[in-house]
Amino acid sequence: MSGRDLFPTSLRLLGKPVVVVGAGRVAGRRVRALLDAGAVVTVVAPEAGDDVARLAAAGLLTWVRRGYESSDLDGAWFAQTATGVPEVDARVAADAEARRVWCVNASDHETSTAWTPASARVDDVTIAVNAGGDPRRAKALKDAIVLALKTGLLPLRRHRRGPHYGPGRVALVGGGPGDPGLITVRGRQLLAEADVVVADRLGPRGLLEELGQGVRVIEVGKAPGAHTATQEEINRILVDEALAGNVVVRLKGGDPYVLGRGGEEAEFCREHGVDVEVVPGVTSAISVPAAAGIPVTHRGLATGFSVVTGHEELAELPARPDHTIVLLMGVRRLEHSVKQLRHRGLSAETPVAIVERGWTPQQRVTIGTLGGIADQAARVGVANPAVIVIGDVVRVSPFAPAHFRLTHPAALTHPAAHIL
């Protein structure tokens, strides 16, 4: 029997009498699963392993301490035989067949009237796998499905909503710098559950193409001088969709709490009685420099760094090459920022890197010095989205000119660079 003649189903055994014949290791596993399903379990065996003995001592099952008798199946809804003695198991299976009681015969799956699949639960989803009578194969497949569910590779979105489901909720998910592979496992899992995705322009856009049919995407991305929605409108969308009973994912670039107004959105949700979960993301302030081989701290070069948006905050920062400055959204005001840092005393020879569209196939790295970077950026047409790194850590980049570099790395594998 290959399993083609099986009719897959699930049994509801809550409060139903179940008989397990045998009390060894296999029986112990089956008994625990039956108890988890709410069955009233009777174990028939002259001796018991530790698992069954402990459960019996705790009063969670009835242990009949003798060999099997046909009358043990009277009134049973389900039977499991696992004595390890094929003749005894076959007798139990035959008695069950005569009484029209479903029976799993651990000694001979070919003659079982029921098969126990490899099973697991993820949230309220039950996975059960039969694999032609090969339990190790079934377990391997089950584990692979569980992993895919837990990592968001399979859709978890609910299509039927019962009264037990509860109200909608909001998740503020940091999607990282744009590469779909850099979102967290929890973020991807929430996308697999989402009814509505409220998407930013700089989030991992490729993941939107993987959303299940019927998932609504609401675009609220902000670009310089062109805002699709105000922050107040975004806040209201999140709350209204959640109050309508939806699982809402606010998919952001980077981290929702790093210059992403995630704090404002979370506060607004809580003020309106909406449950909100915050999922950190890989912030572009650190990850985009890393894409160009630049650590924001490096032993002997920099032990600290500051992240700013390229505005008034520069006046408050340490102005020395051993303290890394990371400018976000700073391209438009680059010339002003350079003047301010030079006025603060930072040398014109301080290394600077501009990383455009980090972690995408269009990534470009421009490296120069503080004294010439503004002209250089204008000459090559640097544009947002971009991250600007100022400080000696730029010397570590494999894109740095030879007279900048501290080391000489192997052949570059990064996208093209523009260097003076």
Determine the pLDDT at residue 263. 95
Catalytic residue among 51, 134, 222, 240: 222
For 371, the 3-state DSSP assignment is coil
Give catalytic status of residue 200 as yes or no: yes
Determine the pLDDT at residue 416. 46
Give catalytic status of residue 74 as yes or no: no
Q: Which residues of 274-288 are buried (b: 16+ CB within 10 A; e: fewer)?
A: bebebbbbbbbbbbb
87 and 71 in contact (C-beta within 8 Å)? Answer: no
Determine the pLDDT at residue 413. 40
Which positions ≥6 away from 379 have C-beta within 8 Å? none
In DSSP terms, which residues pair with 63 in a beta bridge? 43
Tokens found for residue 325: 């400055």
119 and 127 in contact (C-beta within 8 Å)? Answer: yes
% of the chain at pLDDT higher than 70: 91
Determine the pLDDT at residue 20. 97
Which residues of the chain carry a pLDDT beneath 70?
1-3, 160-166, 222-227, 310-312, 406-420
Determine the pLDDT at residue 162. 54
The answer to whether the predicted template modeling score (pTM) of the entire model surpasses 0.85 is no
Q: Sketch out the chain's domains with CATH numbers.
A: 1-116 (3.40.50.720), 169-282 (3.40.1010.10), 285-419 (3.30.950.10)
195 and 157 in contact (C-beta within 8 Å)? Answer: yes
Determine the pLDDT at residue 220. 92
Tokens found for residue 79: 């039977």
Q: How far is residue 93 from each of residues 2, 24, 62, 97, measured CA to CA in Å?
A: 19, 18, 21, 6
Q: How far is residue 211 from each of residues 125, 244, 397, measured CA to CA in Å?
A: 19, 20, 37
pLDDT in tens, 58-89: 999 999 999 999 999 999 999 999 999 999 99
Determine the pLDDT at residue 356. 96
Alpha helices in 255-313 (DSSP H): 262-271, 284-291
Determine the pLDDT at residue 415. 45
| Angstrom distance (rounded) from CA 250 to CA 203 | 10
| Angstrom distance (rounded) from CA 374 to CA 367 | 11
Catalytic residue among 95, 179, 195, 200: 200
| Angstrom distance (rounded) from CA 125 to CA 24 | 29
Determine the pLDDT at residue 227. 55
